[in-house]
Amino acid sequence: MADGPLRGVRILDLTHVWAGPLGTRILADLGADVIKIEAPTSRGPREGARFNFSGWIGGEPGDEPWNRVAVFVKLQRNKRSVAIDLKTDAGRETFLGLVAVADVVIENFSAEAMPALGLGYDALSRANPSIIYMAMPGYGKDGPYRDWVAFGPTVEAMSGLSHVLGYGPEEPRNTAMALMDPIAAVNAAGAIVTALREREATGRGSFLEMSLHESGVVFCGPWLVEHQLGRNVERIGNRHPAMAPHGVYPSRGEDAWVAIACRDDRDWRGLCSLIGAGLDPSASLAERRMGCDAIDAKISAWTAARTREEGAVALQAAGVPAGPVNVTPDMTADPQVRERGFFVPLEPGPTPVPGNPIKMAGIGSGDWTPCPRLGADNAAILRDWLDYDDERIAEMEREGVLADKPPP
Amino acid sequence: MDRVLELGGYAAGYCGRLFVQAGCDVVRVETGERPPAWVSDEAMDLYLHAGKRRIRTDDPRLIAELASRADVVVAEGHTADAVEALGFDAWDAPVRAAITPFGRTGPKRNWQASTNVLLAMGGYTYIMGDPDRAPLTLPGHYPEFQSGAFAYAAANACRLAGESEVIDIGMLEVVMALSQFTTVMWHCDGAIRERHGSDFYHVVPTNLFRCADGWAHINIVPGFWDPFAAFLDLPELVLDERFGTNELRRQNRHALHAIIDAAVAPMTRAEIRRRAEDCRIPVGVVQSLDDVLADPHLAVRGFWQSVHGGESAPVRSPRRAWRIDGQTPPDRDLALLETPAAEARDG
């Protein structure tokens, strides 16, 4: 567990996939005691994951492949794990016991999943009136879309983002990376600290609800306001409505690129002085936008003769925002990132995992703990939080209510 | 409720927006310079700054005085030195958050940045767009808004604990922290994640498909394969050996995409949504901005709040992403306020 300002805050984390676990990772990095409440099958079958497109932590599945799925492990640092079957009476009773001494419960199931288990907000708030319950359904707990099946990519299309993202008017694109999830994740962390502060003032628990869909629409807010003001919001590829030139330009090497932006006339003059090529340093933004095809061609000729790093460094020296289009080895090798110790070699391998972008004296990665094994903390949590004795815990293990591995 | 002082661009502005929506008193200092935005200044002000008290000043003594009366200061600079030049280190507030493109330390702390540069360096751009074309940058203000949201969470955590802290948030690290599986894919599998247009690639079919009046995004993880065949009105797909597993669907993606293209092309978006609801499969349709503004679901859920400023008619702006105890936004218009310095100082 990490130390940090949220030390002492107990969070029961029932989330899965990306948005929820990423949100609770932020809270765990800030010092919260996050207990991952997992089904014994939550990490996949015993012989290996159903999906594994990002490899195994350490490079091999090992003896416990369910504990080594990289895309799962990277989201679980600083958490502890209790694997418990909530479909059993004993499992539910124990879970409600944990709720009674916790501060927060967070889940991102469909709208009906928790009530169907008898574990909706009403039941949890009876167990603990000061509990903060956060639900993260795809489209919310009410409204006409409440029962729609939702994943990040499908919600993205509904949010308005696909209206603006793409190569041109007839070529919309999705991010293909479920962008609504990381947006919801960071908002979830903010929502929970907000509710904790409100509870501090009122003494009462609360029901928080945040849908993937609405998180995404919030991100699109400026375009929605602009549209109502009667101004056109267009899909313009890598160009920008208020900057020119602005784009992603080819660099020397295969599929190598550099991103460049001229925020103002000063940046433009810096670019002209570096590249030359007959570019007019006195051209206004309107003139640059008008002539952007010709300008982009001249910039491309210059960037294509240099590596992405060479191009970016030269442009930065001229005061122009520029950066290489990085892939992972570039990211972890970046001297800026290395000096700030951003990637944390916490997991076996060792596997560098992105750290927390919140830097402050009260938190650091020195005391961080890696992803717990499935059910690794069953006994410790039930003993410490609920005073269960060893015999009771052993009985729950024998009956399959608690587990530390998936069923055969 | 906290008193919050906000200075800088769209990251600080987004952070301040969250504080406003939590009921805090937010004073925004504007120095006259503003970075280029994806929308007009008017739209950005209405979206970010409604409900704040704003003063225009670059007087360092006044700013320091305002900071000394604040519980939280959020200051954004275009470089580390720019934040320092504001006097940030000398301000006296319990929680001070600095947001800069690359963070306050390190060899690139004073590099110049823009949204597309941060997305590129942070690993997002390379994986977005078509494989045979330039990568696509993400429109809008993702690094800024996400950085503002991180600052909000961190500052509130410190306030909850009653701790004084100086917070340093680098937007590049924010982007990197929010990578999906790009980094572990390299370190654990030795693979560079590539871009495949709108195709998620690893789970098939997950892609945008053109329909009669627009586009639909279909995301069929294996558990939804059988109902998806019903959605298409092609039950024979369930028995088609080319598509029996996700791995087979990956291998035969082009053939499958062609079948879906043909089936979806004559459907309208409304029909697609009806069918998806009936078959309980994850499908979204590409909504225009008009569609989103008219979305009945958002309306029923009290998602919008009315904001106005100056001569403009009120517009609808999204509330914050979450609701507490079902609360909808306050039943009043939020106004852009221009506040005399003395009033901002005295509250």
Q: What is the pLDDT of residues A162-189, one digit of tens each?
A: 999 999 999 999 998 999 999 999 999 9
Residue B23 CB-half CA count within 13 A: 11
Angstroms from B277 CA to nearest CA on chain A: 6
Tens of pLDDT, residues A281-311: 999 999 999 999 999 999 999 999 999 999 9
pLDDT band at B312 (very low <50, low <70, confident <90, very high): confident
- Reported confidence tier of residue A344, pLDDT bands at 50, 70, 90: very high
Q: Output the pLDDT for position B311.
A: 74
CA distance B300 to chain A (A): 6
Rounded to the nearest 5 percent, the helix, strand and coil shares of chain B are: 45, 20, 40
The pair phi, psi for residue B337, each rounded to 5°, is -115, 140
Q: Supply the pLDDT for residue B289.
A: 98
Which whole number is the average pLDDT over A18-40?
A: 97
pTM over the 0.80 mark: yes
What integer best gives the mean pLDDT of chain A?
96
Tokens of B224: 């939804």
pLDDT for residue B309: 81
> What one-character-per-residue DSSP string does B251-275 give?
HTHHHHHHHHHHHHTT--HHHHHHH
Q: Select the residue of A54, A181, A264 nearest B189 (Cβ to Cβ).
A: A54
Show the tokens assigned to A88: 């059993």
Q: Is A392 an interface residue toward B (CB < 8 Å)? A: no
Predicted local confidence at residue B43, as pLDDT: 95
What are residue B267's phi and psi, to 5 degrees? -80, 145
> C-alpha angle B130/A336/B8, rounded to 5°?
85
For an interface test with A, the pick among B322, B323, B327 (most A C-beta atoms closer than 10 Å) comes out as B322
Whether B184 and A55 have beta carbons less than 8 Å apart is answered as yes
Is pLDDT above 90 for A53? no
Q: pLDDT tens for residues B55-79? A: 999 899 999 999 999 999 999 999 9
Distance between CA atoms of residues B47 and B34, nearest Å? 15
Give the pLDDT confidence score for residue B117 in this predicted structure. Answer: 98
- In the stretch 317-356 of chain A, residues with CB closer than 8 A to chain B read 319-329, 331-332, 334-337, 339-340, 342-343, 349, 351-356
What is the DSSP track for A281-336?
A: TT--HHHHHHTHHHHHHHHHHHHTTS-HHHHHHHHHHTT--EEE---HHHHHH-HH
Tell me the nearest-neighbour CA distance from A374 into chain B, angstroms.
20
